[in-house]
A and B are shown apart, each in its own frame.
Chain A
Amino acid sequence: MARFILGRLIGGIVILWLVSVLAFVLFFVVPKALGNNPAVLFAGRSPDPATIAGVTKKLGLDRSYVDQYWDFLRGVFVGRHFDSGSNRSWCPAPCLGYSFRNDQPVWSEIVDALPVTASLSIGAAVLFLVVGVSTGVFSAVRRGGLFDRIAAAVSLAGVSLPVYFTGLLLLLLVSYKWHIIDNVHYVDFTHNPALWAWNLIPAWLVLSLLYTANYQRLTRASMIETLGEDYVRTARAKGLRERTVIGKHALRPALTPIVTIFGLDLGVLFGGAILTEHTFGFRGLGAISIDAVNTQDLPVTMGVTLFAAFFIILANVLVDVTYAFIDPRVRPS
């Protein structure tokens, strides 16, 4: 089992490295090849040639791509110097460069935004997982019943309504009409946990609505399949209570595909729930990446991309390991 996990981890690292190469090529090689000098982007509005030259030197854009990529990797693991000739600055270990826009270290921008995104994603994930799976199971057991039909309708609405619609509607109600939560904003968990949760509730609801519907359908389909399996009939033949038959014998195998999807969804959410963050004005990774893209802030865009890739790959590795844990047949013997 340890070998299996190690193998998956190494695989994950290799993929992450490939993503970093791809991102580097995409953000630094391609623009230049198309005639967009990144140095011009960094130097600000109508720069003189001397400034551009300084920036080029500072960012190392005059060096070969291989050297540039090597500098970048070094920056991530041991830190790097930025030297424009006139001044020299040290960027410490996880160095993803400086934002073109405000000259802040990309790493600190990401670290500041991470708690917001994590709070939003984890809260919503718990909500949609619990609600989605339980309603899905109930629908499958009472297939064709009233609950199943209502759930199907709500489900459809859930996936069809866009977040900016449900989000704005909810904000309108709780903030402006009923004044339950005035001025929804992000409060740090360490600052005031109650206020943190209180302010996040609308966003959790909106974000999870979208996913709950998916999980409800997925669980329902998966449960209907396992409920028809021979081993479920065997469980009944043993005289087990229906609760045990459904909750243990049918649900466990039904969860296998759900774990897979959940891992991927969580990874993607950690990369930033762009629309939800935007709607509620939270400055999470999603908001940062949108800003970075809009202002062509290449280091930030690349940093956020790598970060998202890291979470998705991590989630994938966790899914594989969980999968082997749930299903003994995929375990290496």
Chain B
Amino acid sequence: MTVRLTKDLRSPATGEPSPATGKDAVPAQPTDAPATGAVPAASGEAGEVRGRAARGGDELVRVTDLTKLFPVRRGTLVRRSTGAVRAVDGVGFAIDRGTTLGLVGESGSGKSTTGRLISRLLEPTSGSVVFDGRDISHLSTRELRPMRRDIQMIFQDPYSSLNPRHTIGAIVAAPLRIQKQTPRGGIRARVRELLELVGLNPEHYNRYPNEFSGGQRQRIGIARALATRPKLIIADEPVSALDVSIRAQIINLLDGLRTEFGLTYLFIAHDLSMVRHISDRVAVMYLGQIIELADRTDLFSGALHPYTHALLSAVPIPDPTSHHRRERIRLRDEVPSPLNPPVACRFHPRCWKAQEICRTEAPPLRERAPGHQVACHFPEKRDVV
């Protein structure tokens, strides 16, 4: 179920590679020109430009047939395996340098597990993760250490992800110390620079996390993630624990940092409007599998999978007049247990379009339009927003 992103993907309008390609494909360097600097403000084309750019660049991450099983054990004296949760089941995609892939899905979709597999906080059961040309799927802890500086994570909960007994200076410097990196000018200067970069007062170096608000803590987490000048940042629900007025600040910060340092993001979230804002491409997961993968504009205005339609239709729109106009798709029941997922198409028990073939044959993730892949026997374009 490999997804091919880089080859033969041309702008459908011209059949030519996007002109933005060459510029955006430059590898990450702080001095680089902003990757998305030329994007016109507040327009649907912004997505087009980014989306095309995404396909022209070179790959930083390629995930192939990635699978993670969590065995379920039972028994009092002798613990034996009685089955497995198929948390991630045959996931494949690639992320180009300098772009953002949004990973959306509901609870049990395996989106967080996918993030942890790519950052190698977890080891895949099968399949591979190729990072920067190197297969890191089964590297040992020791072999992983140098690689960790290139892949950093930002977590959801800014309260539990910072050690309350360490000063923020120590927290931000920790990745440098672990990697035994001494930046020019010393660790302290680098940490101050990082704090300033994420919008914190560098004088607060010696303060403790409890002296900061949720939004500021998330900034600390971001500064820590940036310390080793990573190539890839995996952000797992980075704003969902924050107040509405703070979310936008953090999203803008992440956006700005990407432009400034040519970072690549894997942005995991359940908030579709947030994902739409920040991503170049979006993958929708359901019960451990990717069911749709497309450029954001294609996904949000021309989704093909019924589950994506249902998901989009369920997002509340902050416009009281909208629900008279909007098409309402309501799914039956809830996501089934990943311990015992439905056979063939996993979505079929909740799908209003399901037919016999959906119960007998799993639909492969196939390209239906340039760069737009969907795993459905009966894909159909539908505007639900």
Judge A-B direct contact (beta carbons within 8 Å).
yes
What 0/1 pattern do residues 243 to 254 of A give for CB contact below 8 A with B? 000000000000
Does the CB pair B76–A14 fall under 8 Å? no
Does B42 count as interface, using CB distance less than 8 angstroms?
no
Stretch from A2-10, A76-84, A179-187, A220-228 that touches the partner: A2-10
Within 8 A of B (CB), among A319-333: 332
Q: Which residues of A contact B77 (CB under 8 A)?
A: 7, 10-11, 14
Least Cβ–Cβ distance between B339 and chain A, in angstroms: 12
Q: Which of A88-147 contact B (CB under 8 A)?
A: none
Name the A residues within 8 Å of B74 (CB-CB).
332
Cα distance A332–B79 in the bound complex, in angstroms: 14
Nearest CB of chain B from residue A117's CB, rounded to whole Å:
30
> What CA separation (Å) do A283 and B22 show in the bound complex?
93
**Beta-carbon nearest neighbor of A332 in chain B:** B74
* B238 smallest CB distance to A (angstroms): 26
How many chain B residues have a CB neighbour from A under 8 Å? 4
In the assembled complex, the CB of A6 is this many whole angstroms from the nearest CB of chain B, namely 9
Complex formed: what's the CA distance from A7 to B76 in Å? 6
Q: Which residues of B contact A11 (CB under 8 A)?
A: 76-77
Looking at the assembled complex, report how far the CB atom of A321 sits from the nearest CB atom of chain B, in whole angstroms: 12
Question: Looking at chain A, what size class is its interface with the partner chain?
Answer: under 10
A13 to B: closest C-beta gap in Å: 11
Docked pose: A4 CA to B76 CA in angstroms: 8
Grouping DSSP codes into helix (H, G, I), strand (E, B) and loop, the B interface class, with mixed when no group exceeds half, is loop
- How far, in Å, is A11 (CB) from chain B's closest CB? 5
B92-121 vs A, Cβ < 8 Å mask (1 yes, 0 no): 000000000000000000000000000000
The docked-state distance in angstroms from the alpha carbon of A332 to that of B72 is 13
Nearest chain B CB to A252's CB is how many angstroms away?
Answer: 25
Give Cα distance in the complex from A11 to B76, angstroms.
Answer: 8
Residue of B nearest to A14 (CB): B77
Smallest Cβ distance from B299 to chain A, in angstroms?
37
Query: In the complex, A10→B76 CA distance in Å?
Result: 10
A9 to chain B, nearest CB (A): 10
Chain B: minimal CB distance from A304 (Å): 28
Mask for B354-370, Cβ within 8 A of A = 1, else 0?
Answer: 00000000000000000
Q: Which residues of B contact A4 (CB under 8 A)?
A: 76
Q: How far is the CA of A8 from the CA of B155 in the complex (A)?
A: 40
Nearest Cβ distance between residue A7 and chain B, in whole angstroms? 4
Q: How far is the CA of A247 from the CA of B77 in the complex (A)?
A: 36
Nearest Cβ distance between residue B343 and chain A, in whole angstroms?
Answer: 23
A14 to B74, CA, bound (A): 19
Residues 316-351 of B, flagged 1 when their CB comes within 8 A of A and 0 if not, give 000000000000000000000000000000000000
- Most A CB within 10 A of own CB, among B74, B75, B76, B77: B76
Closest-by-CB residue of A relative to B74 is: A332
CA distance A215 to B77 in the complex (A): 31
In whole Å, how far is A3's beta carbon from the nearest beta carbon of chain B?
Answer: 9
Cα–Cα distance between A332 and B82 once the two chains are bound (Å): 14
**Residues 7-47 of chain A, each 1 if its beta carbon lies under 8 Å from chain B, else 0:** 11011001000000000000000000000000000000000
A10: nearest chain-B partner, CB-CB: B77
Give Cα A31 to B370, complex, Å.
83
Q: Complex formed: what's the CA distance from A76 to B75 in Å?
A: 30
B256 to chain A, nearest CB (A): 39
In the bound assembly, the distance between CA atoms of A71 and B257 in angstroms comes to 77
Contacts of B75 in A (CB 8 A): 7
Distance in angstroms from B349 CB to nearest chain A CB is: 22
User: Once bound together, how far apart are the Cα atoms of A10 and B75, in whole Å?
Assistant: 12
A11 to B75, CA, bound (A): 11
Question: In the complex, what residues of B have CB within 8 A of residue A14's CB?
Answer: 77
How far is B77's CA from A10's CA once the two chains are assembled, in angstroms? 9
Q: Given the complex of chains A and B, what is the CA–CA distance between A12 and B74 in angstroms? A: 18
One digit per residue, 1 when the CB lies within 8 angstroms of any chain A CB and 0 when it does not, for chain B 59-77 equals 0000000000000001111
Complex formed: what's the CA distance from A43 to B242 in Å? 80
Inter-chain CA distance A14–B76, complex, in Å, is 13
A11 to B79, CA, bound (A): 13
Closest Cβ of chain A: how far from B340's Cβ, in Å? Answer: 13
Interchain CA distance A14-B77 in the complex, whole Å: 10
Measured between beta carbons, the chain B residues less than 8 angstroms from A8 are: 76
In the bound complex, what is the Cα–Cα distance between A269 and B75 (angstroms)? 31
User: Closest Cβ of chain A: how far from B78's Cβ, in Å?
Assistant: 10
Tell me the minimal C-beta distance from B79 to chain A in angstroms: 11
CA distance A7 to B77 in the complex (A): 7
Determine the distance from Cα of A159 to Cα of B210 in the docked complex, in whole angstroms.
36
CB distance from A169 to the nearest CB of B (A): 46
A28 to B74, CA, bound (A): 39
B73 nearest CB across to chain A (Å): 12
Q: Which residue of A lies closest to B75 (CB)?
A: A7
* CB proximity of B373 to chain A, nearest CB, Å: 38
Complex Cα distance, B76 from A89, in Å, reads: 43
Which residues of chain A are within 8 angstroms of B76 by Cβ–Cβ distance? 4, 7-8, 11
How far does the alpha carbon of A7 sit from the alpha carbon of B79 in the complex, in Å? 12
Known: A7-B75, A11-B76. 8 other contacts (CB 8 A): A4-B76, A7-B76, A7-B77, A8-B76, A10-B77, A11-B77, A14-B77, A332-B74
**10 residue pairs from A and B, CB less than 8 Å apart:** A4-B76, A7-B75, A7-B76, A7-B77, A8-B76, A10-B77, A11-B76, A11-B77, A14-B77, A332-B74
The 6 closest A-B pairs by CB, nearest first: A7-B76, A11-B77, A11-B76, A7-B77, A8-B76, A10-B77
